[in-house]
């Protein structure tokens, strides 16, 4: 009989045996969305991929974007949790389970995207039967499969002691299938010394093993694109660029998931501000690295101005993909702002004076007005006033854009004190922006290159109802898997938390000697000499 | 072993699109609805399309002072094809005679090859191919079929990739005939439908490994060029520049 802390039991074990109406309603709602997706997929199978918005030359569309996005999300987990485990970061303890679960489910949903995208899903097994290892798709099959198996193992291993704890502490009223499930999955865990030794060894080995596999997964996905000769894809930095983006979006997903779990189960004492702060720092670093890569990737194209590549970049900068490209940039800048500015607000004295509600409102109004003026089509009845004619002139447009940025900064400064007071909410805002921004990033990589090929007329691409439905269904499936998993298994690793408490206790017993006060104050030393 | 190649003389091409039509009926490529064609889903193994001219160098005015350039584009049957390198199941591959083949029975419809091809000569079956009325019964019965192999003009199933085959079925027929007559296959025994039909006699076909063949001689011409030479695909369709 394994013992458990009474708060842990109330917060983490008891909810596994209670089903709230909200849970049932959410599952039902998600099932409806998934059911609609299944219907639309069946339609797509029967009628063909012509039901999507894809065409020639846009042979790959939203499904491919979703594939890269979900596989990217999957880096939340295992990679981050493994790195934190290997480096012995104590604060990882309450969030590793959530992170690892994201990985497994994002991989399932991501792989599903490829099957949805296939013209002949009935021939999927050909990949094993006739697979050519020279094809980047086969590299992907190998690495994603390895990553999936590794992630499932890596999720399961730290779950074993928890399963035994749940097995031994299940209420008497618990349904018998659930009890049987826990005792089966606990593999006879008794928590003796030898079992612990083996488990720790296995977890440590898996943590080291999973890091190169995770890196390989997103590198290889980028190589699917980079090994072709298509303009905008044939880039040597795509591998690291994609890995960075994957970890970046993964942290965003982790923020959202851990906040959801924290709210749903009331785990404020487990997932504390310490986790938000530390993960937030990692988030800021990844944001900077992401910007560095994005800049490096596009600068080469912009400076060289090769005919085929530059049209792709031009379409992103001011052409048909300007909206999605700049939305991505704005999302990332805003996410960076939300995380950084509240932290440095106190350091700069004048910024405090600007951070006031009236300035926020005024800036927001100014920003909206400037933006509307910039994007509005020429209005004929305004022509005598030259109101829009003035803005067709490049100089005044540049001034207007600069003004818009200033207004946006005003809004950002005004909201900063609120963000500083609400670190969880601001992390969630930043995470939402980054997750959307990273989806757009994949869109901006796949679609502009597809629509600007070398020897086919440039085209445009708009997803259809089928693609929207299947995307919604994929997200719903991801959420459903997540929901069901945490209905069955503890959301926070019980034994790791208990271990963390012991570590903290030991730390608290270490006494650091007080520093000796210096004889004279530093500043005064010079004064006295004079 | 032969190395089959095509020469297209742009000086002689009158853009009549006869090659495109001949190809359509030889290889059973279905016509799609106009709405689908507008979406870019038309399948033309041998596409004839205008290419933009440089307005600073060439005048393009009102009729009759019009200057339009056309290009006809079959599969390039590259010596270094980007498409076959990415195929996960060897549904597309280069055979020993340098032809880039496409097996409809093997293709899984991932469309990696269509993405990898810089020439855009690979087409995907977005819908089930359909023919109007009697056209459905007038399909070319030729095909290459075997264990897990379906090639040539055979009607393609939904969701697979197809492309110009240099009329591979004609090569097989020519070889069978030569065998039956107990002689070696001669270069002139095998001609794709587009070459046979070309109104302006602008197309030539033959074996690049035979220095006497017409394609080998045209290859030496100062007018000879290949599409996207800088991509490194080494196409075996050679164009002759307009004079």
Q: How large is the average pLDDT for residues A284-306?
A: 93
Among A238, A454, A305, residue whose Cα is nearest residue B233? A454
| A135·B85 Cβ contact <8 A | yes
Residue B34, chain A, CB below 8 Å: the answer is: no
Q: From the CA of A102, how many Å to the nearest CA of chain B?
A: 26
Q: Which residues of A touch B39 (CB under 8 A)?
A: 55
- The answer to whether the CB of B63 falls within 8 A of the CB of B55 is no
User: Which of the pair, A93 or B77, is modelled with greater confidence?
Assistant: B77
* Cα A264 to Cα A311: distance, rounded to the nearest angstrom: 48
Q: From the CA of B162, how many Å to the nearest CA of chain A?
A: 12
* DSSP label of A232: T
pLDDT at A214 exceeding the cut of 50:
yes
Q: In this structure, which long-range contacts are made by residues A177-185, counting pairs with CB atoms below 8 Å and at least 24 apart in sequence?
A: A178/A16, A178/A17, A178/A488, A181/A488, A185/A156, A185/A159, A185/A160
Q: Which residues of A touch B73 (CB under 8 A)?
A: 455
Residues 6+ apart with CB under 8 A from B23: B29, B44, B45, B46, B74, B164, B192, B193, B194
Q: Which residues of B touch A234 (CB under 8 A)?
A: none
Which member of B86, B123, B158 has the closest CB to residue A135? Answer: B86
Per-residue pLDDT of chain B (243 residues; tens, 9 = 90+): 789 999 999 999 998 999 999 999 999 998 888 888 888 899 999 999 888 766 566 666 677 777 778 899 999 999 999 999 999 999 999 999 999 999 999 999 999 999 999 999 999 999 999 888 888 888 899 989 988 899 999 999 999 999 999 999 999 999 999 999 999 888 888 999 999 999 999 999 999 999 999 999 999 999 999 999 989 999 999 999 987
Q: How far is CA B200 from CA A58, A442, B121, in A?
A: 34, 47, 23
Range from A87-91, A223-227, B223-227 carrying the lowest mean pLDDT: A87-91
Residue A463, chain B, CB below 8 Å: the answer is: no
Residue A59, chain B, CB below 8 Å: the answer is: yes
- The answer to whether the CB of B116 falls within 8 A of the CB of A126 is no
Residue A126, chain B, CB below 8 Å: the answer is: yes
- Identify the residue among B87, B111, B232 best suited for mutation to test binding to A, counting A beta carbons within 10 A and taking the highest: B111
pLDDT of A416: 83
Return the structure tokens found at B37.
Answer: 């064609």
Residues 6+ apart with CB under 8 A from A308: A231, A452, A454
Which member of B85, B90, B124 has the closest CB to residue A59? Answer: B124
| A120·B108 Cβ contact <8 A | yes
User: Which helix (H) or strand (E) is B8 found in, with range?
Assistant: strand B4-9
Among chain A residues, CA nearest to B92: A132
* DSSP label of A518: P
Q: How large is the average pLDDT for residues A484-498?
A: 88
pLDDT at A278 exceeding the cut of 50:
yes
Q: From the CA of A55, how many Å to the nearest CA of chain B?
A: 6
Range from A87-96, A239-248, A322-331, B200-209 carrying the lowest mean pLDDT: A87-96
pLDDT at A52 exceeding the cut of 80:
yes
Q: How far is CA A139 from CA A70, A294, A402, B89, B90, in A?
A: 18, 25, 46, 12, 15
Q: How far apart are the first and last CA of chain A?
A: 75
Q: How large is the average pLDDT for residues A316-338?
A: 92
Residues 6+ apart with CB under 8 A from A519: none
- Identify the residue among A68, A130, A224, A466 best suited for mutation to test binding to B, counting B beta carbons within 10 A and taking the highest: A130
Among A235, A446, A489, A206, residue whose Cα is nearest residue A321? A446
Half-sphere exposure of A284 (CA within 13 A, CB side): 15
Separation of CA B27 from chain center: 10
Return the percentage of chain A with pLDDT > 70, whole number.
Answer: 92
Q: How large is the average pLDDT for residues A103-117?
A: 94
Among chain A residues, CA nearest to B123: A56
Which member of B87, B110, B120 has the closest CB to residue A455? Answer: B120
What residues does B162 pair with on adjacent strands? B123
Residue B138, chain A, CB below 8 Å: the answer is: no
* Cα A479 to Cα A351: distance, rounded to the nearest angstrom: 40
- Identify the residue among A44, A47, A48 best suited for mutation to test binding to B, counting B beta carbons within 10 A and taking the highest: A48
Return the structure tokens found at A447.
Answer: 């679609």
- Identify the residue among B108, B113, B122 best suited for mutation to test binding to A, counting A beta carbons within 10 A and taking the highest: B108
Q: Which residues of A touch B123 (CB under 8 A)?
A: 56
Return the structure tokens found at B139.
Answer: 């399909």
Q: Which residues of A touch B85 (CB under 8 A)?
A: 134-135, 227
- The answer to whether the CB of A199 falls within 8 A of the CB of A224 is no
Residue B86, chain A, CB below 8 Å: the answer is: yes
Which member of A54, A224, A228 has the closest CB to residue B82? Answer: A228
Residue A57, chain B, CB below 8 Å: the answer is: yes
Q: Phi/psi at A456 (nearest 5 deg)?
A: -125, 150
| B88·A227 Cβ contact <8 A | no
Among A438, A482, A472, residue whose Cα is nearest residue A103? A482
* Cα A54 to Cα A48: distance, rounded to the nearest angstrom: 11
Predicted confidence band of residue A530 (pLDDT cuts 50, 70, 90) = very low
- The answer to whether the CB of A491 falls within 8 A of the CB of A98 is yes
* DSSP label of A56: S
Q: From the CA of B41, how many Å to the nearest CA of chain A?
A: 6
Helix (H, G, I), strand (E, B) or coil at B101: strand
Among A214, A131, A146, A438, residue whose Cα is nearest residue B110? A131
Helix axes of A238-265 and A193-226: crossing angle, nearest 10 degrees: 130
pLDDT of A257: 93
Q: Which residues of A touch B114 (CB under 8 A)?
A: 56, 59
* Cα A12 to Cα A489: distance, rounded to the nearest angstrom: 9
Q: From the CA of A67, how many Å to the nearest CA of chain B?
A: 13
Residue written as token pair 């399932």 = A108
Return the structure tokens found at A191.
Answer: 């928590």
pLDDT of A383: 52
Q: Which residues of A touch B233 (CB under 8 A)?
A: 229
Return the structure tokens found at A240.
Answer: 């690291």
Among A156, A157, A183, residue whose Cα is nearest residue A169? A183
Which member of B86, B109, B115 has the closest CB to residue A119? Answer: B109
Q: For residue range A182-205, what is the model confidence (pLDDT) as tens digits? A: 889 989 888 889 999 999 999 999
CB pairs under 8 A between A and B: 130
* Cα A99 to Cα A75: distance, rounded to the nearest angstrom: 9
Q: For residue range A331-364, what is the model confidence (pLDDT) as tens digits? A: 999 999 999 888 887 666 666 676 677 888 888 8
Q: From the CA of B126, how many Å to the nearest CA of chain A?
A: 4
Q: Phi/psi at A167 (nearest 5 deg)?
A: -55, -45
| B90·A123 Cβ contact <8 A | no
Q: Label the pairing between strands B123-124 and B92-94.
A: unpaired
Q: Which residues of A touch B120 (CB under 8 A)?
A: 56-57, 453-456
* Cα B180 to Cα A527: distance, rounded to the nearest angstrom: 113
Range from A213-227, A515-529, B127-141 carrying the lowest mean pLDDT: A515-529
H helix and E strand count, chain A:
22, 0
Predicted confidence band of residue A219 (pLDDT cuts 50, 70, 90) = very high
The interface predicted TM-score of the complex, written ipTM, equals 0.91
């Amino acid at each position: 009989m394994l013992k458990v802390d009474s708060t842990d039991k109330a917060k983490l074990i008891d909810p596994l045996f209670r089903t709230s109406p909200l849970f049932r309603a959410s599952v039902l709602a998600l099932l409806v969305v998934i059911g609609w997706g299944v219907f639309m997929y069946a339609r797509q199978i029967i009628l063909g991929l012509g039901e999507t918005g894809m065409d020639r030359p846009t042979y790959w569309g939203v499904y491919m974007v979703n594939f890269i996005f979900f596989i990217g999300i999957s880096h939340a987990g295992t990679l981050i949790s493994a790195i934190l485990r290997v480096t012995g970061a104590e604060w990882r303890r309450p969030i590793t389970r959530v992170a690892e679960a994201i990985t497994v489910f994002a991989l399932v949903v991501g792989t599903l995207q490829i099957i949805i995208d296939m013209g002949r899903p009935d021939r999927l097994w050909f990949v094993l039967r006739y697979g050519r290892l020279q094809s980047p798709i086969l590299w992907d099959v190998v690495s994603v499969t390895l990553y999936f198996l590794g992630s499932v193992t890596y999720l399961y291993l730290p779950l074993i002691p928890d399963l035994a704890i749940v097995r031994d502490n299940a209420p008497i009223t618990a349904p018998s299938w659930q009890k049987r499930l826990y005792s089966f999955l606990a593999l006879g865990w008794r928590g003796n010394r030898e079992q612990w030794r083996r488990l720790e060894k296995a977890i440590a080995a898996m943590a080291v093993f999973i890091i190169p596999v995770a890196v390989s997964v997103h590198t290889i996905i980028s190589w699917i694109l980079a090994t072709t000769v298509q303009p905008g894809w044939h880039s040597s930095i795509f591998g690291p660029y994609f890995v960075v983006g994957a970890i970046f979006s993964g942290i965003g997903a982790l923020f959202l998931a851990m906040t959801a779990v924290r709210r749903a189960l009331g785990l404020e004492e487990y997932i504390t501000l310490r986790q938000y702060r530390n993960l937030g720092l990692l988030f800021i670093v990844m944001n900077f690295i992401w910007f560095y890569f994005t800049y490096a990737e596009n600068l080469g194209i912009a400076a060289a101005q090769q005919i085929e590549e530059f049209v792709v970049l031009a379409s992103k900068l001011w052409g048909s993909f300007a909206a999605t490209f700049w939305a991505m940039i704005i999302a990332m800048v805003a996410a960076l702002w939300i995380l950084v500015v509240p932290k440095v607000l106190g350091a700069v004295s004048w910024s405090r004076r600007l951070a006031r509600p009236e300035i926020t409102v005024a800036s927001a109004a100014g920003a909206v007005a400037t933006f509307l003026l910039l994007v509005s089509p020429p209005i004929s009845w305004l022509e005598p006033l030259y109101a829009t004619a003035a803005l067709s002139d490049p100089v005044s447009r540049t001034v207007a854009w600069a003004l818009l940025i200033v207004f946006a900064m005003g809004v950002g400064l005004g909201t900063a004190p609120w963000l500083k007071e609400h670190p969880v909410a601001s992390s969630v805002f930043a995470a939402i922006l980054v997750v959307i921004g990273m989806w757009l990033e994949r869109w901006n990589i796949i679609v502009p290159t597809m629509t600007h090929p070398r020897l086919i007329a440039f085209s445009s691409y708009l997803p259809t109802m089928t693609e929207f439905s299947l995307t919604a269904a994929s997200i719903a499936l991801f959420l459903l898997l997540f929901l069901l998993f945490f209905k069955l298994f503890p959301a926070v690793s019980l034994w790791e938390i208990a271990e963390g408490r012991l570590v903290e206790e030991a730390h608290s017993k270490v006494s650091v000697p007080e520093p000796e006060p210096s004889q004279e104050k530093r500043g005064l030393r010079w004064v006295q000499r004079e | 072993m032969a190395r089959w190649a095509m020469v297209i003389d742009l000086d002689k091409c009158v853009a009549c699109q006869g090659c495109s039509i001949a190809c359509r009926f030889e290889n059973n490529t279905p016509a799609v609805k106009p709405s689908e064609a507008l979406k870019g889903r038309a399948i033309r193994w041998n596409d004839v399309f205008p290419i933009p001219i440089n307005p600073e160098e060439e005048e393009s005015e009102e009729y009759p002072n019009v200057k339009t350039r056309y290009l006809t584009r079959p599969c390039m049957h590259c010596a270094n094809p980007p498409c076959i390198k990415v195929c996960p199941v060897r549904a597309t591959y280069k055979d020993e005679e340098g032809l880039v083949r496409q097996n409809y029975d093997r293709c899984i419809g991932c469309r990696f090859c269509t993405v990898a091809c810089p020439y855009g000569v690979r087409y995907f079956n977005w819908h089930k191919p359909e023919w109007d009325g009697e056209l459905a019964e007038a399909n070319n019965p030729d095909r290459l079929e075997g264990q897990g192999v379906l090639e040539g003009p055979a009607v393609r199933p939904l969701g697979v990739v197809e492309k110009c085959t240099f009329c591979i079925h004609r090569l097989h027929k020519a070889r069978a005939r030569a065998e039956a007559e107990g002689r070696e296959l001669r270069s002139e025994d095998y001609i794709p439908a587009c070459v046979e039909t070309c109104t302006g006699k602008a197309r030539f076909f033959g074996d690049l490994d035979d220095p006497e063949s017409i394609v080998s001689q045209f290859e030496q011409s100062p007018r000879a060029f290949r599409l996207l030479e800088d991509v490194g695909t080494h196409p075996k369709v050679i164009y002759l520049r307009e004079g």
